[in-house]
Structure 1
Amino acid sequence: MSPLEVQQLRDATPGCQSGIVHFNHAGASLPSQATLDAIIDQLQREARDGPMEAGEQGEVLVEKARRAAAQLLNAPTSSTSSIAFASSGSSAWSMAFQALGPWQPGERILVGRHEWGGNLASMQQAVQAGARIEVIPCDETGAVCPVALESMIDAKVKLIDLTWLPANGGLINPAQAIGAVARRHAIPYFIDAGQAVGQLPVDVQALHCDVLKSAGRKHLRGPRGTALLYVRPDFLSQLNPAQRDVFSAPWTAEGFDLRDDARRFETSEVSFALLAGLGNALQEVNRLGVEHTWERVLQLSERIREALRQLPGVSLHDLGTAHSGLIAFNLAGWDAFELKRRLGLKRINIGANGVAYTPLDMQARGLTSVARVSVSPLNTEHDIERLITALRELRD
């Protein structure tokens, strides 16, 4: 991106005018003014015309968001039938997982070592029914190994699940290669793409995934309380959601029946305002071009990694050979959460993770916490200089 393009992006984002350096885009990024306006416009419409009466325009905005999400993910066919919206990435994933049931004793769930803690928590329902969670071995770089996965396959494997970009480091797992194994053996394949969507190109057809989810608040720069769920159309019939209402299972002459698209995971009561904001954010990503933004993210994150390598007392926690815009590190003598707090006092936002978010990997590597810097095209060289200067001051 040119300096002019970056400045235009920043000028359209209120958070960039606050004097705060924001390096917590993996937690939640900064929405544009246009996204805020879309939310407020729908709220004002509801206040003026009546909340239910304004729902007609709200439904139009939701369908625009659905089309934008399908475009961003390269969903199969021109239809939006494979996209559903939810209140969070965790709830979207959990609904899809629960819809796979019922689970039987001895059935196996294969996961990467970097699996998101919320997904593991949802899997306990299956474990209580007698299913087993098994970890796919990593290769020599620390990434999930497709060859090792192939050797684990048998008739008892009911699900392969992958956290593509883990929350505790810059690893990019080989999602497409894992998907090829899953497709070859006709095993359901779920991808947690919470840190991927909006940061790097995502093509659900190339990934061979059956389900993919992402939160709206991260690299999509949408509002909190929004998420998207992709379900491969040919896989939908295998999912039987436990939660139903008159929207997800509308009345027909034969009685209530599930929708034949991904909206079987939605309910009649949604925030049209928040989804209007998410729709605008999705359209902005599409207009800008995620390939365009990904190139800048790579440039900025490599600049930060190199600067951190030169700073005594800093240990980086990258795995794999391909790295995202999330940089996990520790500073000698500092607890990651205290470091986050102290940088916040200097008006620099970063993230920090404990064991619970990625328990299998954190325990395997003997880590109790990590500090996280995550970048966006909104960040600048000046932001990087402020961060490194602040870390140097705290180290001294």
Structure 2
Amino acid sequence: MRPSPTADGVESIDLASVRAETPGCAKVAHFNNAGASLMPAPVVEAQIAHLRREAEIGGYEARAEAGERLESVYGSIARLLNCAAEEIALVENATVAWNLAFQAFDWRPGDKVLTVEAEYASSYIAYLHARQRQGIEVVTVPSDATGQVDLEELEQRLDPKVRLIAVTHVPTNGGLVNPAAEIGRIARARGIPFLLDACQSAGQLDLDVQAIGCDLLSATGRKYLRGPRGTGFLYVRRGLLDRLTPPCPDLRSARWEAPDRFVWYEGARRFENWEFNYAALLGLGAAVDYALDLGLPAIEARVTALAAELRERLAAVPGLQVRDLGTRRCGLCTFTLAGREASAVAAALRGQAINVSVSDPNGTLLDATRRGLPDMVRASVHYFNDSGEMDRLIAALERLSRG
């Protein structure tokens, strides 16, 4: 499974090997990796093995036995992001991770959050909730002509009341990649914390929190990392930790040292809670190790190339309109087919064992309203997709376009 160097020095992926280790490839053509990807066999086996041990010896006992392997998950994610293991918290999903970060700020009336037009619904709902309860101001930075956040407009909106810049790296409704590192430079220069939602980018893009300059990053295991559902993680820069107050403390995050006093534990684990699905966490660790073994630069190169090829081929289908924006694009491809509802297209493809999903305008309401977007079909590629699967998808869409 190890990548091998190509003639130009860029690592390539052994497609036959990764497909052989992906049981789902024998069943479906999976283009729903931005929803939940197909888990490779080592990820599945890591979970099943632990569940068996829980059944055989007990849950607490199995957790104790797996202690070293569970501890290594932090180190694996740290290598994925180029940070310290102490800066990682393991949680149930990306929404939990993001909310733990956002709610950890001591919001006061008049505080401002700067965000983007293509922000995801869950995050924007949290902003509106904080506006209702705590009186914050939500400032949406417009997009530029390419669809990404307008960096000049972002800088113009910075003032002493801005407490946080919060940005979705890859929106749910297309392949656009927001310029995270450029935002990070702006945030650092002004001393403003930067929260990056990497839910769709972790596992398909080579993320380096030092180069990006984000102070907080939330991500999930189930999407491009090819891990289990119900897993996620939060990165918190060490220098920011003592300026945040975790919103849901318990005996894993803090020590009760006197009847009237507790102290936070060191590091980002102060954001965790006691109970875990340990089988799933071992699966997450296996998924991250699998990605690291292949190499994130190789994964990013293949996913980006496959998506570019798919967009080109989609654009040639009669009546099909590709809806993606962005100067830099990644593995998500969204489109509409004239005369066909997106849900009907997805259902027809599913009947042919081709998995896609539907992007609802409410998921990115501001961007969808500005662009007048309807429901769209979303086809999201991963490195294990091959040319035969793409041929099947295009042929099926061409049949649908002919009625």
TM-score, scaled to structure 1 = 0.96
Residue in structure 1 matching 2:114, options 110, 113, 116: 110
- Return 57-66 or 250-259, whichever deviates more: 250-259
The residue that corresponds to 2:200 in the other structure is: 195
1:8 aligns with 2:26: no
Which of 34, 46, 53 is the matching residue for 2:54? 46
CA distance in 1 between counterparts of 2:54 and 2:230 reads 19
Give CA-to-partner distance per residue, 1:218-265, whole Å, 9 cap, x none.
000000000011110101111101211111112336842112211111
Counterpart secondary structure, 1:228? strand
SS of the aligned residue for 1:199 comes to: coil
**Equivalence map 1:56-135=2 (5 Å):** 56-75=64-83, 79-101=84-106, 103-128=107-132, 129-135=134-140
Q: Secondary structure at the match of 2:85?
A: coil
Displacement of 1:4 after TM fit? Answer: 7.8
Q: Tell me the residue number matched to 2:161.
A: 156
From 240, 261, 277, the counterpart of 2:267? 261
1:58 and 1:356, CA in 2 relative to 1: closer, same or farther beyond 3 A? farther
Give the Cα separation in 2 of the matches to 1:257 and 1:58: 27
- 1:302 and 1:368 map into 2 onto residues whose CA distance is 23
Contact 2:141 2:149 in 1 (8 A): yes
Distance 1:321 1:67 in 2: 33
Paired amino acid for 1:202: L
CA RMSD in angstroms comes to: 1.4
Give distance in 2, aligned partners of 1:250 and 1:222.
31
| Letter of the structure 1 residue corresponding to residue 173 of structure 2 | N
Q: Which amino acid aligns with 2:302?
A: R
Shift of 1:279: 0.4
User: Residues 58 and 273 of structure 1 are in contact (CA less than 8 Å); yes or no, is this contact kept in structure 2?
Assistant: no
Partner of residue 247, structure 2: 242
- Aligned partners of 2:118, 2:352: CA distance in 1, in Å? 31
Distance 2:215 2:257 in 1: 28
C-alpha distance 265-192 of structure 1, shift in aligned 2 (>3 A): same
Question: Which of 263, 287, 291 is the equivalent residue of 2:297?
Answer: 291
Q: Distance in 2 between matches of 1:242 and 1:320?
A: 35
Give the residue type in structure 2 aligned to 1:297. V
Contact 1:246 1:256 (C-alpha < 8 Å) held by counterparts: no
What is the aligned counterpart of 2:238 among 233, 237, 243? Answer: 233
**Which ranges of structure 2 fall in alignment gaps of 5 or more residues?**
5-11
Query: Which residue pairs with 2:8 in the alignment?
Result: none
Could you tell me which residue of structure 1 aligns to residue 225 of structure 2? Answer: 220
* Number of the residue aligned with 1:346: 352
Residues 180 and 327 of structure 1: is their aligned pair in 2 closer, same or farther, counting only changes over 3 Å? same
Of 187-196 and 351-360, deviating more is 351-360
Q: Is the 8 A contact 2:253 2:271 kept in 1?
A: yes
Q: Deviations over 1:172-208 (max 9, x none)?
A: 1111001111111111110001111110100001111
| Whole-angstrom distance in 2 between the partners of 1:223 and 1:100 | 29
1:182 and 2:187 matched: yes
User: Match of 1:257, SS?
Assistant: strand
SS of aligned partner of 1:299: helix
Distance in 2 of aligned mates of 1:330 and 1:47: 48
Cα distance in 2 for partners of 1:4, 1:106 equals 50
Distance 2:145 2:374 in 1: 22
Equivalent AA in structure 1 for residue 31 of structure 2: F
Could you tell me the TM-score, scaled by structure 2's length?
0.94
Runs of 4+ in 1 over 6 A off after TM superposition: 1-4
In 2, Cα distance between the equivalents of 1:367 and 1:156? Answer: 33
SS of 1:315's equivalent?
strand
Q: Which residue of the partner structure matches residue 7 of structure 2?
A: none
1:296-322: CA deviations, max 9, x gaps? 112211111111111111111111211
Shift of 1:292: 0.7
**Match of residue 373 from structure 2:** 367
Which of 274, 281, 285 is matched with 1:275 structurally? 281
Q: What amino acid does structure 2 have at the position aligned with 1:25?
A: N
Distance in 2 between residues matched to 1:4 and 1:165, nearest whole Å: 23
SS in 2 for 1:150: helix
Classify the secondary structure of the residue corresponding to 1:53: helix
Is the counterpart of residue 319 in structure 1 residue 319 in structure 2? no
Conservation of the 8 A alpha-carbon contact between 1:336 and 1:369? yes
Q: Distance in 2 between matches of 1:237 and 1:301?
A: 41
CA deviation after TM superposition for structure 1 residue 362, in Å: 0.8
* Unmatched runs of 5 consecutive residues or more in structure 1: none
AA in 2 matched with 1:355: P
Cα drift, residue 329 of structure 1: 0.6
* 2:341 paired residue number: 335
8 Å contact 2:32–2:381 — kept in the other structure?
A: yes
**Deviations along 1:26-62, whole A, 9 cap, x unmatched?**
0010111111110011111111111111121343222
Q: Which residue number in structure 2 is paired with residue 390 of structure 1?
A: 396
Inter-partner Cα distance in structure 1 for 2:89 and 2:357 = 29
> Using the alignment, how far apart are the partners of 1:352 and 1:319 within structure 2?
17
Q: Does 1:140 align with 2:140?
A: no
Is residue 31 of structure 2 the alignment partner of residue 23 of structure 1? yes
